[in-house]
Amino acid sequence: MKQWETSELYREVKSRPSEDGSLPFQKDSEGFNTEARRRCLHLLEYSPRTVYQLKKRLMDDGFSAEQADDAIRYAESFGYVDDGNYAMEYVRTGCQKKSRRQLYMQLSSRGVDKESIEDALEAYADEQENTVRRLARKRLMQKPPRTEEDFLKAVKSLVSKGFPYEMAKRAVWELRDEYGSTNK
């Protein structure tokens, strides 16, 4: 996903004709694409968005579905909108703190298709083990365990964050020797 500053984005887009040969901010025969396209690019300046998020926002701003679709196709033609890249980037930045299930649900709610989500999650599958270990260590440091029950609470905490039970249990039990337990 390309990150642009405002002036850089407009300069880049203004200099390239679109697929139909017209310049970006030139009014078309219907007169509606210019504003929808401009608004779409403006929304993308601040943060990457999915097709679903852009369409919803453009329609909330008063543009028709047809205008929103045209503006999104226009942004896609320059590579500014790509749900696959969005999912990959979202997982890359979120995999340090969130479980696979949390990432899946959040991307689904943003309108990313199942296949793109699965591809992104698969690319960072190894990170999940590291994340669960790091979060287990953090949990055990915050509340040092004294009994077997305290270790089980740490496992429950990780499971409630969306990590698989076996993975959470393995991570906590690996750290068990480090923290010790009175009821081994």
Q: How many CB atoms lie within 10 A of CB 154?
A: 27
What residues contact 131, with CB distance under 8 A and at least 6 apart? 95, 96, 97, 98, 99
- Give the fold, CATH level 3, of 83-123: Arc Repressor Mutant, subunit A (1.10.10)
Q: What is the pLDDT of residue 8?
A: 52
pLDDT at 1 over 50: no
Whole-structure pTM value: 0.67
pLDDT at 140 over 90: no
Tokens of 146: 């004294």
- For the chain, the domains span 6-77, 83-123, 127-179
